[in-house]
Amino acid sequence: MSNEVNTGESTVSRETSQTATNKPTNKPVIGTRRLKEPMPRPIKTRLFTVANQKGGVGKTTSTVNIAAALAMGGLKVLVIDLDPQGNACTALGVDRDGEGMYELLVEEKPLSTIIQKVAGFPHLECAPANQELANAEISMVNMVARESILKFALNDYLKEREAAGDRLDYVIIDCPPSLGLLTINALTAADEVLVPIQCEYYSLEGISLLVSTLSKVQRALNSTVHISTILLTMFDSRTRLANDVANDVRAHFPRELIDIPIPRAVRVSEAPSFRQTVMTYDASSPGAVAYMQVAREIAQRGSSATPHEPDEPDEPDEPNEAGAITA
């Protein structure tokens, strides 16, 4: 029997050369094509934290690409960049020079005052990790209820949006590679945790640390939060190790795992240098196709309401799942 992981669709585990019709684009994105089939809305706003205390496992990449894919599916999505490195902002082309998560956490500025729209996406917005965020953990040490600052700010904003008849469908929080106060704030604010796992040695050992931190948060701060979603990232089906890790994850987390591994793919890693997600940079590349499938699976698992009415009456003209319209 083959060791390859079945992605459920065409093989997405290997990089292919770009096709003539879908070149990667380094031009500014001014719009995105709507998907033929919109994604289902959740009953209430789903609050995700993307966490794994290991760096370089695909937290930021998964955050921005799943968020972009959900937004392309017609859903209203907010990305909160809680990593002082600000890589999610970079991939979304969001400015980090103004006020951002530092002012929200330390000066208690409302979320509505720091949010920026992501260019090209009608329904995607971002709360930026500004440069000062690197000092936030130290500044927060003596604050009252310091673990719950994000939760209260987010709840206020969600209520505001709902009262205005403009409810968000997804909030996705990108965490730094640590289990410090920023990540604790994210776990306290969320209902669901998405854990990206890179298929290599010790991947699962890393998860046990996260699980023990999570159980402390559950006990003291937020009884709702749980690991709902696990994603295999930078997957190379040719290696035995990747398949072994995938099998382990499948055995430990059969319900949580989304069994659509994200292939290790050059376009995915190139996209941020053009301040883009791979969803617009090269929509037909294997990484983008996989993230689109993952986003649809996430939406389907949490669905039950009807999709948003489309903004424009016209039908999309392309058969492929997604794509960028550039200047």
Ligand X SMILES: Nc1ncnc2c1ncn2[C@@H]1O[C@H](COP(=O)(O)OP(=O)(O)O)[C@@H](O)[C@H]1O
Of 74 and 176, CB closest to Mg ion: 176
Token representation of residue 10? 């065409």
Kindly compute the dihedral angle of the four CA atoms of residues 258, 283, 278, 294, in this order, to the nearest 10 degrees.
-10
**CA–CA distance from 248 to each of 160, 202, 207, 257 (Å)?**
43, 11, 12, 11
Distance CA 101, CA 131 (A): 9
Distance CA 229, CA 137 (A): 27
Q: Does 59 engage in binding with ligand X (CB under 6 A)? A: yes
Q: Does 265 engage in binding with ligand X (CB under 6 A)? A: yes
Residue 265 binding result from Mg ion, ligand X, none, given CB thresholds of 5 to 8 Å by partner type: ligand X
Of 12 and 214, CB closest to ligand X: 12
Packed helices 149-163 and 181-189: angle between N→C axes, nearest 10 degrees: 40
Of 83 and 137, CB closest to ligand X: 83
Total chain residues near ligand X (CB under 6 A): 18
64 φ, ψ (degrees, to nearest 5) = -70, -35
- Judged by CB under 6 A, the residue of 24, 58, 86, 323 near ligand X is 58
Residue 296 binding result from Mg ion, ligand X, none, given CB thresholds of 5 to 8 Å by partner type: none
Residue 268 binding result from Mg ion, ligand X, none, given CB thresholds of 5 to 8 Å by partner type: ligand X
Which segment (37-45, 98-106, 243-251, 268-276) binds ligand X by CB under 6 A? 268-276
Q: Residues 6 or more apart from 191 whose CB is under 8 A from it?
A: 46, 47, 48, 224, 225, 226, 228
- Judged by CB under 6 A, the residue of 12, 29, 47, 57 near ligand X is 57
Residue 98 binding result from Mg ion, ligand X, none, given CB thresholds of 5 to 8 Å by partner type: none
